[in-house]
Amino acid sequence: MPEQKENTLYTVTVYTENQVGILNQISIIFTRRNLNIWSLSVSSSAIEGVHKFTIACRTDHKTIEAVVRQIEKRIDVLKAFYYTDNEIIYQEVALYKVQTDTILESPDFEELVRRNNAQILEINRTYTVLQKTGHCDETRRLYDELAPYGVLQFVRSGRVAITKSTVERVSRFIEHQQKRAEKVKMLADDQMA
């Protein structure tokens, strides 16, 4: 493992065009530097046709800055940003599968569900599936509390994040680019004429 002076969990958000191979293009930039992607989630964004990658990664400030710039350099990437936890509102979702008979026998289970603000998604004779949204430590805590009942399966999603900033920087970039497109088109038309 490379020695790192500073070790912060950064959330990188990447806005891209919808092109095949984008995920690969982004992930190899982390691979090159031997950086472990802690979580990853991909979805559409508020802007039509624009995809959003949310990547969590532990590293130091200099590295994440260089990584984000190298990501942004890829042709099909519109913009890339990085944030620390206090700059974003973020969330994860976790699912838990436990044996129904063990929870039916437990007097504390209802209280456990209420206290953790968990939801029951499915219940049958064999198993019960719970869902909890929250930060990693919260979903982890529920896992620990369910452990005595026997957790058959557990899965946690990558984090999704929204910035606390009042400015939508991607939208601003796209507006700027639209103006640039008009300028380029005018220049091209002039040349044709």
Contact assessment for residue 152 and residue 159, using Cβ atoms and an 8 Å cutoff: no
169 binds another protein (CB under 8 A): no
Q: Which of 117, 119, 180, 186 lies at the binding interface for another protein (CB under 8 A)? A: 180
β 88-99/37-44 pair status: unpaired
- Residues pairing with 156 in the sheet: 94
Token pair recorded at residue 131: 């869902």
Q: How far is the CB of 173 from another protein (least distance, A)?
A: 9
* x/- map, 34-73, another protein, by CB under 8 A: -------------------------------xx--xx-xx
* x/- map, 69-108, another protein, by CB under 8 A: xx-xx-xxxx------------------------------
Q: Please, which residue, 31 or 117, has the CB nearer to another protein?
A: 31
Q: How many residues bind another protein (CB under 8 A)?
A: 25
Q: Give Cα separations from 103 to 59, 139, 192 (angstroms).
A: 41, 18, 76
177 binds another protein (CB under 8 A): yes
Backbone angles phi, psi at 64, to 5 degrees: -65, -35
186 binds another protein (CB under 8 A): no
Q: Give Cα separations from 6 to 37, 60, 83, 137, 156 (angstroms).
A: 17, 5, 15, 21, 26
Backbone angles phi, psi at 5, to 5 degrees: -70, -40
Q: Please, which residue, 72 or 87, has the CB nearer to another protein?
A: 72
Applying CB under 8 A, the residues found at the interface with another protein are: 16-17, 20-21, 24-25, 28, 32, 65-66, 69-70, 72-73, 75-78, 174, 177, 180-181, 184-185, 188
